[in-house]
Amino acid sequence: MSIVVNKAGDTFHLYNDEISYIMKVLPNEQMGQLYFGKKIRPKEDYSYLVETHMRPMSSCVFDTDKNFSMEYIRQEYGVFGTSDYRMPAVEVLQENGSRISDFRYCGYRIESGKPKLSGLPATYTEDASEAETLVVELKDPVSKMSLELFYTIFAEGGIIARSARFLNEGEQDLHLTSAMSLCMDLPDSEYDWLQFSGAWARERYLKTRRLQQGIQSVGSMRGNSSHNHNPFIILKRPTADEFQGEAIGFSLIYSGNFLAQAEVDTYDAARVLMGIHPSGFDWKLESGEEFQTPEAVMVYTDRGLNHLSQTYHKLYQKRLARGYWRDRERPILINNWEATYFDFTEERLVKIAKQAKESGIELFVLDDGWFGKRTNEKAGLGDWVANPERLKNGITGLAQRIEDLGMKFGLWFEPEMVNKDSDLYREYPDWIIQTPNRRTSHGRFQYVLDFSRKEVVDRIYEMMAKILSEAKVSYIKWDMNRSITECYSATLPADRQGEVYHRYILGVYDLYERLTSRFPEVLFESCSSGGGRFDPGMLYYAPQGWTSDDSDAVERIKIQYGTSYCYPISSMGSHVSVTPNHQINRNTPLYTRANVAYFGTFGYELDLSALTEEEQEEVKEQIKFMKQYRRLFQFGTFYRLQSPFEHNISAWMVVSEDKKTAIVGWHRVLNGINLPYTRLHLQGLDEDMLYSVSEDDAAHYGDELMHLGMITTDASSGQDEANMRQDYDSRLYILKAVEGGNLS
């Protein structure tokens, strides 16, 4: 990895073994984007890449030049209003009402490693040799706003991490009304746009369309990154697929309002913008004040979407997630939500835990309903003190009883919320987000606490820290069950109300930071009515997240498959629940529920006594199996093989680092009869290694399994009683290197 500055001092080339990223100071002193893609050799001059052709109707920068227009020149951080008409990366409202900026190059610095982003989650290095950061320094001579553009290149992977920092060096007040984390002007628009969208219980479905002239975007203005759209998009060449071809990923490490957009201009160049959603955003910078944008991570590959995803997985698993649990196998848990909902007593919980312990489960998680007057969704949020009518010995007593069983104890919180029927609300009715003289909408009868206020965060921190320091709590599920409406903070002045959404998220991050640093061994799982805030920002604090409230195995195949485009398997909370499934009323076989849930953190969302004895024995076997292969599932290299968005049969697999073990998950939604011959082309194996394959007596070499395929034919279900299969079927194929079977 290296950052090369040419002799003239106006061209920067960041490269490693996989990628090159090149930019140049333009004649008008703004920064031009020249190239992001597969590695090319360093060279003194790439000026030929600045395309300055005469274009009728374009507005030109220099009096004497008819060819130089920002309208079509590709830039690093485009600004509106000085001949560029595309959506800008930044907009600064000045005291005279002007929104025009002209950020001119002033200098650069190179730092080894990667600087921290104050108050924000970001990727990091453990050793300075892992990455290098170029900081390009710019300044607008009129408003005196200075801008630093950060570019980190990692030694490994086609990754560029970007962010921007603003500093008001002038005397007047300035308002940032748009401040993107990245702007990327690509030279053409021959791309498919991939987004990960959906709704509650069907999060991160893959949706694809061809880029077209004009703007296409996804985003959130709900205060959380949302179920509806994920802060992640991919642009891939139309001919690229999972296994080959060019693609670029754009991922925002942020949990609040976001925008991800591509604008294809008149000349078919494509500008990608990603950052905090500018709608409703207005950040005031008084003289001497700074603003730091969240970080966006771009990944380039010419080896297909699996490789792109694996690059994100590795980076987010190892250099975004942090702490004690980052590299550790995650405990197999049982959560009481779908088992009891609000209807439980201490004795009922202990009974569930006891049986779970006998099955080999390691962690018991008490979900919603243990605190204040929370016996239904209308009361109690905000009162983080155990309800003595339900838990006579408090959380401390219950946690001890669970520990005495030989299990760990985990607890649910929804720290950002309050019900009006709560002591906290009665004491501080002005602590919620609400706009004066307007109706305040509720979601699930709850209101959002104003986390932009430090005293609010302090109070919640005190309540949570008290429980965590008194009771043996090893895990926290941090839920967030509604979006923000009527956004307004009682303590901010009128000209800072555009800061509330972002200040809110900074408050959430602050609480996470305080709790995770004071209780470093507690495992945090983020949640937002399932996957409503499943984003990289959360991963920095909570190495796993509840992927979706939909626990049906068939639904989960799509949800987990879609989620895997950006997020590692170790981050996906996945549980086995009862049938008929509580969300969709579907009956899937117990083995399929487990076969899907293994590809995640794994746990159970049920009362085991609701299962037959035979099923309980099956559960014991599942847990034994997961314990045996958990490291492989959670930390192996994951490959998508066949998409559930396109096929009745889908498949994925994990491969161990030494390639000696692999597990293939195969799922078929509807059964068929007298079916065709089928093979599955595996990935990531060692071509020369001989593998035994479960479900098959013979052994096969890696090259056979990958190139010729693994036979998966199941010809005559329904006619062949001995091999009768069913709907919602699944199989796991376990591949193991045969001792002495390596050809190389």
- Answer yes or no whether residue 606 interacts with ligand DGJ by CB under 6 A: no
> Per CB under 6 A, which region of 222-230, 307-315, 522-530, 626-634 contacts ligand DGJ?
522-530
> Per CB under 6 A, which region of 57-65, 416-424, 432-440, 526-534 contacts ligand DGJ?
526-534
Q: Residue 173, annotated ligand binder? A: no
Least distance between ligand DGJ and beta carbon 376 (Å): 10
Residue 588 contacts residue 670 (beta carbons within 8 Å): no
Q: Residue 430, annotated ligand binder? A: no
Query: Is 33 or 419 the residue whose CB approaches ligand DGJ more closely?
Result: 419
Residue 317 contacts residue 311 (beta carbons within 8 Å): no
Position closest to ligand DGJ via CB: 368
Based on the residue annotation, tell me whether 479 is a catalytic residue of this protein.
Answer: yes
- Answer yes or no whether residue 412 interacts with ligand DGJ by CB under 6 A: yes
- Give CA–CA dist 249/232, Å, rounded: 7
Least distance between ligand DGJ and beta carbon 225 (Å): 15
- Give CA–CA dist 426/386, Å, rounded: 18
Give the contact letters, 422-461, x = binds to ligand DGJ (CB under 6 A), - = no: ----------------------------------------
What the block records as the tokens of 643 is: 């998409």
Query: Is 299 or 538 the residue whose CB approaches ligand DGJ more closely?
Result: 538
> Per CB under 6 A, which region of 34-42, 303-311, 426-434, 524-532 contacts ligand DGJ?
524-532
Query: Is 234 or 480 the residue whose CB approaches ligand DGJ more closely?
Result: 480
Backbone dihedral angles phi then psi of residue 671, each to the nearest 5 degrees: -70, 160
Q: Residue 480, annotated ligand binder? A: yes
Q: CA 507: distance to chain centroid?
A: 19
Q: Residue 666, annotated ligand binder? A: no
- The correct pick among 33, 481, 583, 683 for binding ligand DGJ (CB under 6 A) is 481
For residue 312, give the amino acid letter: Y
- The correct pick among 88, 231, 530, 702 for binding ligand DGJ (CB under 6 A) is 530
Question: 507-530 in b/e burial notation, b at 16+ Cβ within 10 A?
Answer: bbbbbbeebbeebeebbbbbbbbb
Three-state SS for 359?
helix
Query: Is 18 or 479 the residue whose CB approaches ligand DGJ more closely?
Result: 479
- Give CA–CA dist 543/487, Å, rounded: 29
The catalytic residue among 265, 383, 479, 686 is 479
Residues 77-106 that bind ligand DGJ (CB under 6 A): none
> Per CB under 6 A, which region of 47-55, 152-160, 421-429, 523-531 contacts ligand DGJ?
523-531
Q: Residue 477, annotated ligand binder? A: yes
- The correct pick among 549, 550, 607, 729 for binding ligand DGJ (CB under 6 A) is 549
- Give CA–CA dist 493/108, Å, rounded: 36
Q: Residue 328, annotated ligand binder? A: no
Residues 302-361 that bind ligand DGJ (CB under 6 A): 337
Query: Is 265 or 605 the residue whose CB approaches ligand DGJ more closely?
Result: 605
- Give CA–CA dist 596/555, Å, rounded: 10
Residues 6 or more apart in contact with residue 685 via CB below 8 angstroms: 655, 659, 662, 691, 702, 705, 706, 735
Residue 342 contacts residue 368 (beta carbons within 8 Å): yes
Angle at 568 between CA 564 and CA 574, to 5 degrees: 80
Counting other chains too, the contacts that 42-48 makes at CB distance below 8 Å and 24 or more residues apart are 42/2, 42/4, 42/13, 42/15, 43/13, 44/6, 44/7, 44/8, 44/11, 45/6, 45/8, 45/11, 46/11, 46/22
Q: Residues, the chain, total?
A: 744
Least distance between ligand DGJ and beta carbon 361 (Å): 17
Query: Is 337 or 384 the residue whose CB approaches ligand DGJ more closely?
Result: 337
Give the contact letters, 360-399, x = binds to ligand DGJ (CB under 6 A), - = no: -------xx-------------------------------
Q: Residue 368, annotated ligand binder? A: yes
- Give CA–CA dist 309/154, Å, rounded: 16
Give Cα separations from 48 to 9, 52, 186, 707 (angstroms): 17, 9, 16, 42
Q: Residue 696, annotated ligand binder? A: no
Count of positions on this chain that bind ligand DGJ (CB under 6 A): 11
Least distance between ligand DGJ and beta carbon 414 (Å): 7
Least distance between ligand DGJ and beta carbon 250 (Å): 27
Query: Is 368 or 555 the residue whose CB approaches ligand DGJ more closely?
Result: 368
| HEC sequence for 144-212 | CEEEEEEEEEECCCCEEEEEEEEEECCCCCEEEEEEEEEEEEECCCCCEEEEEEEECCEEEEEEEEECC
- The correct pick among 103, 447, 546, 638 for binding ligand DGJ (CB under 6 A) is 546
The catalytic residue among 10, 84, 549, 552 is 549
Least distance between ligand DGJ and beta carbon 528 (Å): 7
Three-state SS for 295?
strand
Query: Is 265 or 414 the residue whose CB approaches ligand DGJ more closely?
Result: 414
Least distance between ligand DGJ and beta carbon 335 (Å): 7
Per-residue DSSP letters for 537-606?
Answer: HHHTT-SEEE--S---HHHHHHHHHHHTTTS-GGGEE-EEE-SS-TTT-----HHHHHHHHTSSS-EEES
Least distance between ligand DGJ and beta carbon 38 (Å): 41
- Answer yes or no whether residue 733 interacts with ligand DGJ by CB under 6 A: no
Residue 333 contacts residue 363 (beta carbons within 8 Å): yes
Q: Residue 479, annotated ligand binder? A: yes
Residues 6 or more apart in contact with residue 197 via CB below 8 angstroms: 204, 205, 207, 218, 228, 229, 230
Query: Is 168 or 548 the residue whose CB approaches ligand DGJ more closely?
Result: 548
Per-residue DSSP letters for 239-283?
Answer: T--SSSB-EEEEEEE-SSSEEEEEEE-TTS-EEEEEEE-STT--E
Least distance between ligand DGJ and beta carbon 337 (Å): 5
Least distance between ligand DGJ and beta carbon 529 (Å): 5
Query: Is 302 or 414 the residue whose CB approaches ligand DGJ more closely?
Result: 414
Give percent helix, percent strand, percent coil of the chain, each to the nearest 5: 20, 35, 45
Query: Is 545 or 568 the residue whose CB approaches ligand DGJ more closely?
Result: 545
Residue 149 contacts residue 166 (beta carbons within 8 Å): no
Site residues, ligand DGJ (CB under 6 A): 337, 367-368, 412, 479, 481, 527, 529-530, 546, 549
- Binding-site positions read 200, 367-368, 444, 477-481, 527, 549
Instruction: Point out the residues that are catalytic.
Output: 479, 549
Residues that constitute the known binding site for substrate: 200, 367-368, 444, 477-481, 527, 549
